[in-house]
Amino acid sequence: FPGTLPNPKLVLVHGTLKVVMKQNVTLSCLPKPGSPPVRYALFRHNQQVSALNRSDLTPALFTLTISSASDVGEYKCKAEYNNSSGGKYSNSLNFTFIEPISKPVLSSPTSQAQKGQNVTLSCFSENGSLPITYQFFKGNQSISPRKTMQKREAAVIFLFIDSLSDFGTYKCKASNSFPNNTKYSNAFSFTLAEERSYSQTLIISLGLILLLLIIGFALAIPFFVIPLYKASE
């Protein structure tokens, strides 16, 4: 029956296609109904990693431990008759690593603000598998919807400083598909920028005018004062 052997089906029966280090996964190579006894072989990137013989129609189960980067990638199984050089390949399953995120950093271009000012906050986790989801908080209250970033870039929100309560403590959190891997950022607070009074502005202006007069007088000495002094001798 070699010509009638159908393609087997490769199915993940335990674990996920997105894996972490030291994770166990189990693959099942399923024969089609009516297939005769066959030999099953499992391949990773066209290299055989395991083989099983079956005298009945029960599926072949392959358990793997993902222990390094070389263990991820594309897997296929091959079904063939015993003592035969022929065979047919299954569909492929592709395993990829997921990396835990690092602690996000919350920052702003400015740490000082005044009432009535627009400011920005950015949250960024340097490491971790994409996509990464960010959320911003003021105290324990969320102040933004979740922002899912598909690229390695910061999530940014815009704030309007409307009252003194807006100078509170801000944080953000980041998470990805790595299990139980939500991390919070450092705390960040805006400080109230001192507003210069009218008298302060006037004093600074008068000081600048006086400085300009002194500089002008110093520049005028070679042209006016020295010639007058020589003429009087």
What is the C-alpha radius of gyration for the chain, rounded to an integer number of angstroms? Answer: 36
Q: Count CB atoms within 10 A of the CB of residue 34.
A: 10
The mean predicted confidence, pLDDT, of the chain is: 85
CA distance 180 to 228: 87
CA distance 28 to 59: 6
Q: Of residues 83 and 210, which shows the higher confidence score?
A: 210
Q: Of residues 214 and 228, which shows the higher confidence score?
A: 214
Residues 182-207 have a mean pLDDT of 76
Q: By the 8 A CB rule, do 90 and 42 touch?
A: no
Residues 194-211 have a mean pLDDT of 67
- What distance lies between CA 132 and its chain's CA centroid? 5
The confidence score (pLDDT) of residue 84 equals 58
Of 46, 48, 30, the closest CA to residue 38 belongs to 30
Q: List domains and CATH numbers for the chain.
A: 9-97 (2.60.40.10), 105-192 (2.60.40.10)
Q: Is the peptide bond before 37 cis (omega within 30 degrees of 0)?
A: no
Reported as a single tens digit per residue, the pLDDT across 88-105 is 899 999 999 899 999 999
69 beta partners: none
Q: Is the pLDDT of residue 171 over 80?
A: yes
